[in-house]
Amino acid sequence: MSHELLRDSRLFAVLLEIDREFLNEAHTRRCAECGGRLDRSDYPRKARGGPPKELAAEYFRRFSLCCDTEGCRTRATPPSMRFLGRRVYWGAVVVLATAMLHGVTEVRTTQLRRDIHPSLSESTLMRWREWWREKLCATEFWRDARARFAPPLDESRLPASILDRFEGDEGDRLVAALRFLAPVSTQSRLAGAE
């Protein structure tokens, strides 16, 4: 996969649209704690590593909901295609940059820093690799999700081995991988969610 994909604002428009679909679907549900109505309660994100030209402010808002019941106010944040958990880089950056690594070296880190974002450090890339190989693989999500692939995914090559299993061009495969990973982008529970 190529980092050039990260400079394509059309990719980010597709991810934003899918996030809107996730939000609309979550908005039809009730609070998992008390059954109250969920209201919009978005918050700003300062994502790094996206397209060089300015994106609209909505791209930098994490869609979220909050229970309207006084005393509850439980946050219900739907999955996201744009944001992978609390990371400051776009989810697409985390997936592609880590997939492009075949061992973190100073040369590769310098190239990724030049091509993706100047603040991308070797230690950040190492944390991402550790997350893919150790933390993600230890989650309940991963234990259930990896069963969808036959033959089994090579966990030592994550996320590249996930990208390899989807069809289409680079953009299609990245979008499919981000959709597959969307459940790990949030820890919120929504009433009636599967």
Tokens of 136: 């993600």
Element (H, E) at 61: strand 61-62
Does residue 87 belong to any structural domain of this protein?
yes
Does some domain include residue 27?
yes
Q: Is residue 193 part of a domain?
A: no
Number of domains in the chain: 1
Report how far Cα 190 is from the mean position of its chain's Cα atoms. Answer: 18
Confidence check: pLDDT of 104 > 90: no
The residue among 105 and 39 whose pLDDT is bigger is 39
What is residue 71's three-state secondary structure? coil
What pLDDT score was predicted for residue 194? 44
Tens digits of residue pLDDT in 6-65:
888 999 999 999 999 999 999 999 999 999 999 999 999 999 988 866 789 999 999 999
What span, in angstroms and rounded, lies between the C-alpha atoms of 123 and 136? 18
In a domain, 57, yes or no: yes
pLDDT at 10: 92
Instruction: Tell me how far apart the alpha carbons of residues 68 and 151 are, in angstroms, rounded to a whole number.
Output: 46
Does the bond joining 159 to the residue before it have cis omega, within 30 degrees of 0?
A: yes
Answer yes or no: is 192 within a domain: no
Q: What are the tens digits of pLDDT across the range 121-159?
A: 888 888 998 999 999 999 999 999 999 999 999 999 999
Of 1-5, 54-58, 62-66, 168-172, which gets the smallest average pLDDT? Answer: 1-5
Q: What is the pTM of this model?
A: 0.88
Digit-coded pLDDT (tens) for 60-79: 999 999 999 999 999 999 99
Answer whether residue 190 is part of any domain: no
191: in domain: no
- The boundaries of the domain holding residue 62 are 3-185
